[in-house]
Structure 1
Amino acid sequence: MTALSTPLASPAAPPRRWFDRGTPGLGERIPLFGEAMTLAASAWTEGFAALTATPAAFLVGGLAETRVASLPHRRGRDAVFAVLDAPGWGTTVGLLFDRTFVSTVVEALFGGGDELDAASEGPLTAVERRIAEVVAMQASEALKVGFAEVLPSAFPFDRVQAKPDLAFLGRPNAAVVVATLRLKTLGQVAEIDLLVARAALDGFVDQLAVLPADEPANTDPRWSERLESQLSRAPMSLSAMVELDRMTLGALAALQVGQLLTLPRDAATDVRLVCEGRTLFRCDLGQSAGHYTVRVDEPVGPVTPAA
């Protein structure tokens, strides 16, 4: 890690948002989103059962947060990407899966996926594209049922893309909520991801998260003001951290004075602002008037110790 340190000025109190809370996991910060995905998995299982006698079940595989830049490689080089509108949310969402998911669906529905296995690379075949469209439309119906009580919306199918166009999710460094569903059938497990720009969920805090109980008002406002004044004057140290690539213990032991270390390609856009071992913000690295600068991009939550 490389650190640039400067005294910490007293910031204004940031707005309270669901991704700022100190709970340990994304699923605990927006629990109703996870519950809605569980209902969607159940609805998809029922809908799938109406199409085939093959036993199959959809289960929630997890709820995570990632960056837009990492999505093109999340499901391999030849991932399948579908786009759904979400008018009730005022946004567009994505579905990301791979050919394994497509072939698993084909095998469950029709009893074999040999034709798809033979074409594991390159553009989607006509059969694969049609099955991918069927998958997206099934997911659309399941999501409509799953979110009906929490965050109602229709999810009309828009298109299947040969190459993912992720611009609607934001800049490469923008945060994305990834909800994974797993299809278990015929001894196989295949996964599909629902992608939602985190910024699109900011307006639905009350519907997705249980707000912590408000603290009771202090009976002596003068004492509170004095405490706040004293705390705001406490000296702190602020560091901008740039994470290096992994190194072997041998390479680390061989480091010498004057040796140059190459930073990752995204180092300038993934600087972490750290205070007393706690990561506060993601920042961009730059220069101004001959000085290195960091521009605060977005808060990091939950707050975790820096490495």
Structure 2
Amino acid sequence: MSPAQTSPAPVRSPIVERLVGETGEPQRVADAAQALGTRVIPRILSDIEELISFPLEMEVEAVEVVRFGEARPKRPQFEAMSIVPSKSSPDALAILAGADLVGLLVGAVFGGDPDLPAEPITRKPSPIELELVASLFESVAKAFNGSGERALDLRFPVGTPTSGAELGKLVLRDGPGVKITFKLSSSAGFGTLSVTMPQRVLLMHRGDAAQAAAPGAATPGAWKARFGEEVMRSSVALEATIPLSKMTLSELTGLRVGQVIEFPQDAQANTRLSARRKTVFVCEFGKLGNHFTVRVRHPYDAGKEFMDGLISG
């Protein structure tokens, strides 16, 4: 069995998606999908053993972090697909059988010669072929569903697969997803089967196992740190304020255009640097060349400011 290839998707710009969706932790998503795909293979082969006339081998060929809407082929032809709902999602699994797999499956079920090459179908699958594909999809869904507290709670039975022109009309919700591609093979040839899941479904039911198995997996603390990194990259506007002398309301109403107001003697050394209306530093106002500057003196202490105000009052 060859090792699966993983291809995390490129980073997208929306911050919410970067934090909790497709690009938040692509490696964690890929690891969880790889672990799940490897685990279900023996269950699938065991379930279809009585259905086929010669043995098939199965392996995880690739794991890709994708958009869930990409589960459907871009140019549907002779593939067959079923959408399997669950208690928590109307589209927990999107199972797709390629034309090569349909051809291989027909030969394996109806006693084809395992030494003769299996040819991919070049037409829309017949009702009998769709029944065979549906039986395979049922086994795949059962294996993915699992049991106990971590079960996906999929809805059974799996419906008749959609194929041909109807595939192009199939509406899939967009969102962060992960695609596991399997390769089923024999001496007659091979076929491809893919299972695409929304990331939230995968991580809700299977993310903890991959996290525990991977030595570098993100812990809750690491995730908080990653979230903090995103927040710390956000931009804020800085404001430097020089304090003036106190003035009565009567004096304030008496101000006129052109009137000069004198700064206190220590005003330059007590410039307040604020962000989002919160004072963060006490600075010293100055000039560097042709540019005005503020130099940070020390962090702003609100408690000390309050006490100083009481004493001066």
TM range (shorter): 0.5 to 0.7
Alpha-carbon separation, structure 2, partners of 1:85 and 1:94: 9
Q: State the 1:43 CA deviation.
A: 0.6
Cα gap change, 1:52 to 1:82, in 2 (>3 Å)? same
Alpha-carbon separation, structure 2, partners of 1:131 and 1:199: 30
SS of the equivalent of 1:154 reads coil
Q: Which position in structure 1 is the counterpart of 2:109?
A: 109
Q: State the 1:183 CA deviation.
A: 0.8
Bigger RCO of structures 1 and 2 (CA < 8 A, at least 6 apart): 1
| Counterpart mapping for 1:136-151 below 5 A | 136-145=137-146, 150-151=150-151
Larger Rg, first or second structure (1 or 2): 2
Q: State the 1:119 CA deviation.
A: 6.0
Matched, 1:85 2:85: yes
Q: State the 1:208 CA deviation.
A: 5.9
SS of the equivalent of 2:145 reads helix
Alpha-carbon separation, structure 2, partners of 1:230 and 1:117: 54
The amino acid of 1:207's aligned partner reads D
Alpha-carbon separation, structure 1, partners of 2:206 and 2:196: 18
Q: Which position in structure 1 is the counterpart of 2:122?
A: 120
Q: State the 1:202 CA deviation.
A: 6.4
Cα gap change, 1:150 to 1:97, in 2 (>3 Å)? same
Aligned length: 205
SS of the equivalent of 1:34 reads helix
Tell me which moved more, 204-213 or 123-132. Answer: 204-213
The percent identity for this pair of structures is: 13
| Counterpart mapping for 1:1-307 below 5 A | 16-17=19-20, 19-21=22-24, 26=26, 28-67=28-67, 70-73=70-73, 77-87=77-87, 91-112=91-112, 120-121=122-123, 123-145=124-146, 150-156=150-156, 157-162=158-163, 163-164=166-167, 165-167=169-171, 169-171=172-174, 174-198=175-199, 200-201=201-202, 203=204, 207=208, 210=211, 212-213=218-219, 214=221
Q: Tell me the TM-score normalized by structure 1.
A: 0.53
Cα gap change, 1:98 to 1:127, in 2 (>3 Å)? same
Cα gap change, 1:209 to 1:82, in 2 (>3 Å)? same
Alpha-carbon separation, structure 1, partners of 2:183 and 2:232: 52
- Structure 1: unaligned runs, 5 residues or longer: 1-10, 218-227, 235-307
Q: Tell me the TM-score normalized by structure 2.
A: 0.52
- Structure 2: unaligned runs, 5 residues or longer: 1-13, 212-216, 225-230, 238-313
Alpha-carbon separation, structure 2, partners of 1:45 and 1:33: 19
Q: Deviations over 1:136-191 (max 9, x none)?
A: 2222222234x767554335212311322542x314xx443211121112241211
Which protein is richer in strand relative to its size?
Answer: 1
Alpha-carbon separation, structure 1, partners of 2:15 and 2:152: 35
Cα gap change, 1:133 to 1:231, in 2 (>3 Å)? closer
Cα gap change, 1:126 to 1:90, in 2 (>3 Å)? closer
SS of the equivalent of 2:130 reads helix
Q: State the 1:101 CA deviation.
A: 0.6
Alpha-carbon separation, structure 2, partners of 1:14 and 1:105: 39
* Aligned-residue CA RMSD (Å): 4.1
Contact 2:83 2:91 in 1 (8 A): no
Tell me which moved more, 92-101 or 201-210. Answer: 201-210
